[in-house]
Amino acid sequence: LLERLLGYRMFADADGKMNRSVRDIGGGLLLVPQFTLAADTDKGARASFAPAAAPEDGRRLFEYLVLRAYAGYAPVSSGVFGADMQVKLTNDGPVTFWLRVPPAGTRGTGDG
């Protein structure tokens, strides 16, 4: 996932096309754990978090990603797993990408 984050071309080049990556522009990463993205909202009036990883697995995976990012790329900032955080940002868009990587040993669905 880290390589995907660093290499995904989402920033405009001189022609206005999305051909530049975080790495290309010397940008930074802000890694924030957010298990609510795994919510199943298909039925009812309340989200189900059954699809989310168990908290201890989520913590381990997030901390691994953060350690890899700090070891091989700068600048990096990160949130704290399980903490109540207030994150302020400017979403420069309307462009939002949800980058996912299928679990090892599985075949990707091609949707992320």
Catalytic residues: 34-36
Specify whether the CB–CB gap between 4 and 101 falls below 8 A: yes
Q: The tokens 């189900």 sit on which residue?
A: 48
Report helix, strand and coil shares of the chain as percent, to nearest 5.
30, 10, 60
CA distance 63 to 69: 10
Instruction: Write down the residue that tokens 């890694």 correspond to.
Output: 31
- Report residue 70 as tokens: 């700090």
